[in-house]
Amino acid sequence: MIRSRGGASRSNRCPPKQDKQKQDSNTRPLDPVYVPEPVNTNIPNDPVDIRTGNEETGDIVIADGTGSGETLIKDPPPEPPAIFSAATRDPRFARDFQPDYPSNLLQREIEGSATVRVLIGSDGRVHEAQLVRATHPDFGKATVKQALKAWRFRPATRGDVAVEDWQTLSVRFTID
């Protein structure tokens, strides 16, 4: 028992009385208490396969639910990312690459170039052609027309699967 200066023990002391009205104005209502939903602990009687992962080894543990033990099954190694190979010009169609020289520019002996961006489909054909730049608009038109009509490629591949591929190609127009 602890004694204070007055000789009375602390355990015998009563808290000072407060006026009831004053006490009610100082207290605020308590927030409601959060009670979580009960966890479902019902376990089915039928054996159920349960899969759990082992983070350290990457193994999968399968428990059959019969109490017969566990079987360790290794995950297959992850597949390496598929290698992308860009489309290449098909040499069988090399003679069809150069567009016809625009006649009005040939007569005036104007040389130049055109750069186009082409979408090569999984079938090796050009599905879309966009003019990037040209020294003369007629060079650009001739190149886009030729790309859509005659250019052929060996399609791009990702792994062993043919896929679409965008490429930017340039054509030079020179007078021999």
pLDDT in tens, 140-155: 999 999 999 999 999 9
Domains: count for the chain? 2
Identify the pLDDT of residue 76: 76
* Interval 2-30 mean pLDDT: 54
93 and 168 share one domain: yes
Q: Which domain holds residue 144?
A: 84-173
Domain for residue 110, yes or no?
yes
65 and 140 share one domain: no
Would you list the DSSP string of 98-152?
SPPPPHHHHHTT--EEEEEEEEE-TTSBEEEEEEEEESSHHHHHHHHHHHHHH-B
77 pLDDT band (50/70/90 cuts)?
confident
118 and 152 share one domain: yes
163 and 104 share one domain: yes
Identify the pLDDT of residue 82: 87
What six digits make up the tokens of 20?
């009831």
102-112 residue pLDDT tens: 999 999 999 99
